[in-house]
Homo-oligomer: A and B are copies of this chain.
Amino acid sequence: MSLVVQKYGGSSVADAESIKRVARRIVETKKAGNEVVVAVSAMGDTTDELLDLAREVSPLPPPRELDMLLTAGERMSMALLAMAIADLGFSVRSFTGSQAGVITDTAHGKAKIIDVTPGRITDQIGKGRIVIVAGFQGVSRETKEITTLGRGGSDTTAVALAAALGADVCEIYTDVDGVFTADPRIVPAARKLDHITAEEMLELAASGSKVLHLRSVEYARRFNIPIHVRSSFSHKDGTLVTDQAPEGQSVEAPIIAGVAHDRSEAKVTVVGVPDRAGMAAAIFAAIADAEINIDMIVQNVSANETGLTDISFTLPKSEGPNAMQALSRIQDEVGFASLRYDDQIGKLSLVGAGMKSNPGVSATFFKALAAADINVEMISTSEIRISIITRDDRLDDALRAVHTAFGLDAAEEAVVYGGTGR
Residues of A within 8 A of B (CB): 16, 19-20, 50, 53-54, 56-62, 64-66, 68-69, 71-73, 75-76, 78-80, 82-84, 86-87, 92-94
A53-B16, A65-B94, A94-B65 known; A83 vs B71 contact (CB < 8 Å): no
Please, how many angstroms separate the alpha-carbon atoms of A50 and B53 in the complex? 17
Please, how many angstroms separate the alpha-carbon atoms of A84 and B62 in the complex? 10
Please, how many angstroms separate the alpha-carbon atoms of A54 and B84 in the complex? 9
Please, how many angstroms separate the alpha-carbon atoms of A50 and B50 in the complex? 15
Contacting pair B59 A87 (CB below 8 A): yes
From DSSP, what is the main secondary structure of chain A's interface residues?
helix
Chain B contacts for A69, CB-based, 8 A: 75-76, 79-80, 83
Chain B contacts for A66, CB-based, 8 A: 79, 83
Contacting pair A72 B68 (CB below 8 A): no
Please, how many angstroms separate the alpha-carbon atoms of A93 and B87 in the complex? 38
Please, how many angstroms separate the alpha-carbon atoms of A293 and B149 in the complex? 48
Chain B contacts for A79, CB-based, 8 A: 54, 65-66, 68-69, 72
Chain B contacts for A68, CB-based, 8 A: 75, 78-79, 82, 94
Chain B contacts for A87, CB-based, 8 A: 57-61
Contacting pair A86 B65 (CB below 8 A): yes
Chain B contacts for A78, CB-based, 8 A: 68
A-B contact pairs, 17 of them (CB 8 A): A16-B56, A19-B57, A54-B79, A58-B83, A58-B84, A58-B86, A60-B87, A61-B83, A61-B87, A62-B86, A64-B93, A65-B79, A68-B75, A68-B78, A68-B94, A69-B76, A72-B76
Chain B contacts for A60, CB-based, 8 A: 87
Chain B contacts for A16, CB-based, 8 A: 53, 56-57
Please, how many angstroms separate the alpha-carbon atoms of A242 and B201 in the complex? 67
Please, how many angstroms separate the alpha-carbon atoms of A20 and B61 in the complex? 13
3 closest residue pairs by CB, A with B? A16-B56, A69-B79, A58-B87
Contacting pair B53 A80 (CB below 8 A): yes
Please, how many angstroms separate the alpha-carbon atoms of A301 and B72 in the complex? 58
Chain B contacts for A72, CB-based, 8 A: 72-73, 75-76, 79
Chain B contacts for A83, CB-based, 8 A: 54, 57-58, 61-62, 65-66, 69
Give chain B nearest CB distance to A16 CB in angstroms. 4
> Chain B residue with minimal CB distance to A23?
B57
Please, how many angstroms separate the alpha-carbon atoms of A80 and B50 in the complex? 9
Please, how many angstroms separate the alpha-carbon atoms of A297 and B341 in the complex? 82
